[in-house]
Amino acid sequence: MRRDTFLKSLAALAATGAFPLSALAAANVKMMIPANPGGGWDTTGRALGKALMDSGAASTVSYDNKGGAAGALGLAQFINGSKGDPNALMVMGAVMLGGLITGKPPVSLSQVTPIARLTSEYNVFVLPANSPFKTMADVVAQLKKDPGSVKWGGGSRGSTEHIAAAMIAREVGVDPSKINYVAFRGGGEATAAILGGNVTVGGSGYSEFAEYINTGKMKALAVTSDTRLKGVNVPTLKEQGINVVIGNWRGVYGAPGISAAERQALTEMILKAVKSKSWIEASEKNNWTPALLTGAAFEKFVDDDMASLRATMVKSGMV
């Protein structure tokens, strides 16, 4: 068979559904990670990429880190550079929603294609090992005395740890607009600032700080979950009389302008990847709670969460 005839036959098979679209879409996945290396999105994106390859859903996965503006810079690059690409994926999550609300960038999630929510994780607040404070009560006492003297370090403005810090202030009777929040472009930068004692309190997903907590380089103060995390001996904020519960979730989106069939193929790839041994091991290692949601249900979840976050941020004086 001549080469051009063979290629036309393949195209015809794909168009009629006789040739699985996922087989065409699985070749070379391009993963946009809208954050600098070392943070939660980076860990999630690379774990997912490994799972895609280990499960056979993708032949290769390449990664592109683009940090800044709570993921908005990476989102803009993804929108402009991946239109119609059925092999493109972007890691995102609750932090991006908060950043879009506070930053009001000229791009939005409505321009890209929802694929799946993957995991949920709660934040932990920590002290540098050499901190003069010992407990969350110590931090709260100083916050009440002089709000600006307590430097909260974490992800971009609008991140879940930023929102949690504002909620803590409100709950203890401090004007949330007076909190001194230091935003970092990625988890690696935030971790370095905490270890160096350049911030008073640090916040992030528990998995990002676990090794430092376990080795005594950071002292864990509280987690933002409703009840204590499994296997983690850190009290919740609620246990300490601060009625704040807030979770962080992560997911993936596809490129703008892909077809319904291409979206379905990407969804099938994700469903295959999250069943793989490597993904299950990564979830256990990082204390990620499986929270798989796809299709219209995921799309509605994002819309509802955006509205809920906006209401919380307005109430906390952040917007």
3-state secondary structure of 104: coil
The token pair at 228 is 């204590």
Q: What is the pLDDT of residue 14?
A: 43
Q: Which residue stretches of the chain have pLDDT < 50?
A: 1-26
Predicted pLDDT at 163:
93
Q: What pLDDT was estimated at residue 318?
A: 83
pLDDT at site 25: 44
CB 13 within 8 A of CB 72: no
Give the Cα separation of 25 and 88 in Å (integer): 9
State the CB neighbour count (10 A cutoff) for residue 139. Answer: 22
Token pair recorded at residue 270: 């994700």
